Structure 1
C-alpha cells in the first residue's frame, strides 16, 4: 500500500529530508543580473578555461557539486547518490561530471524541469531509507543549448521577442536525513501536457499548461491554497509563460497573483540585459532556487515555498519533423524546519 501517497499525484513524506547546503555557479550575464549577490561563483569567461561549451558546462556542474558538498561539511565519499541531468544529447555534461566525481549516479532527463525532478526523487530516496546524503543538481549553458536546439552561434540570427535566454549555470543541493535547514515535505509529480504549440521560440507558451496542470493537482491533492505559500515559483516560463499561467490558474479557481513569480523572470533584467522574454534552461530554476530562494529561506525571509520546475520535452528531431512541444512540470514543497 502506498501509505505516503495523497491524492493522485502527490507524496507526503513521513521523514522529510533536509536541504543542508546549496551552491551555484553562473556565467557572466547571469552575474550581471538582479540576483548576482546570491550566487557563489560568477564566471568571467563562460568557456571556463575549457575547449568547448559542453566541457565548460560539465565543469560548471562539477564545481557546483564540489562546493555544495564542501559547504555541507561533508566529503565526496559521503555522497551516496548524485541525481542530475542537462539539455544535451546523452546528458553529456552531466555524465562527464559524474565520471570525474565518482559518485553513484542516476542520470535524469526532464529538460528544464530536471532540478525539481532531482529534488523529488532524491527526497524519495532519503525518506525511503535508502541513503543519508545525496546531491541533486542540474546545469545548462547558453552556447551549448543554442547550437544544439536552434542555430550555430556564428549565424548571428535575430531572436524572436518571445524567445528566452538559456541560463549558463548550475545549482546543486545536498539532501540529508538530518539537519536544521529547509526540508522537503511534499512532491507532486507532473504529467506530460501538450496543447499543440509548435513554435520553438515560444517555450513559455508551450510549458505553461503543464505548470498549471501540476499546480492544480498539487492544490487538489493536498488541500493547500495559494496563500499557504510565501512564494510559488515556476521554473523558466519567462514573462509570457508567467502571464499565461496566472490566467489559466485563475480560470481554475485559484488566485496566485500575490505569491507567484517565475525563475526566468527573476534571474535577468529583461529590458536592460536584452533577454526578451526572460531566462530558461535547466540552470534557470537550479540557480534561482539554490541561490536566491534557499538563501532567503535560511534568513527566514521565506518559510514556505512551492518550486515548480518546468520543461519542454522537444528534441531537434521532433522540431524538424513539425511535432508539437510536450511540457512537463514537477512541484516540490520546501518549508523551514
Structure 2
C-alpha cells in the first residue's frame, strides 16, 4: 500500500499514556512529538507514517509495584490468580497524572481530545490524531460516582469498568489459558449504578476485561451497543480474555463492535506471548469476527504499547501491512475501510454521540 492510498486507522485501544507516565523523561510532550524509544509502538512521527488517525487512548492505573503480580503473565497457565485489588488513592494519583499528560499533549498540538464522533471526523479531516479519553480499570472512581462526573467534564467518553483484577464495581477476568471467561461474580451494586450512569452520560462501556457474569449483567442493564475494544475469538484462542460464541452473539444482537487485539497471547492457538506470530493468524480472527458479527461489527483494537504484538506489525508503522494482508485475503477496499476506521466512527456516533 503506497502513501497515496494509505487507509487511515482508528484504533480501539492503546496504552501509550501509561508508557509516557512511566517514562523518566519529564517532558512527556516532547517525547511523544519528537519520537519515543524504538521499542515503543506509538509516537507522532510513526503515527503519521503508519496512517494512525487516532483511537481510544487508555488510562490504566498500574498495579502496585510492591505486589507479587504486576503484569500479564509471560507463559499461559490455567490457574493464574487474579491480580490483587488496587487502592483507590494509588489509582487516583496515576489516573489524574495520565489525564494531565493527555491534556498537555492536546495543548502541545500533538492530538485532539474528542468528545463526539463529529469531533473525531473533524480531527481526521485536519490530519490531527483523534484521541478518545478512555479509562481501563476505574479504581480511581468512588462508588458514589462523584469522580465520574469530574472525569466526564474533562473529556472522558469511554471506560472499561475493570482491568483483569477485582474492584468496587466488578470482577476482572484473570489471564488464564486455556479457560473460559466464566470466572468470579458479576457486577456489584456500585457496578450496576456505574453502567446506568455511563448510559446517561453517553460514556462507552468496554467489556474487554470483564468476566462472563459481569458481561451478562452489562448486557441486561445497558441500553447502548455492547463493545469489546480489544478482544479476540475464543474458539481460535481459548484464552479467558477472548470472546465466546454467546458473547459475540450478544454483541451482534446489540449492533455492537469488537476490536481485534494484536497481543500474540490472545491470537495464537497455544496462548503464548511470542512475537513470531504471522499476519495469517490475525486475518483468521478477522474472518471469524466477520462471520460472527457481520461487516459492521468488526474494528481494530491493537493494544499498542500494552502488549507483545507480532513482529510482522512491529509498531504503528506496520498497520499498512495488516491492511495489505486483508486485501490479499480478498477483502475489498470498502470492507477494509470499514474495519480500519468507519465501523468505529459509526459505533461511536451511537454510544458517545
With normalisation by structure 1, the TM-score equals: 0.33
Q: Between Structure 1 and Structure 2, which shows a larger proportion of strand residues?
A: 1
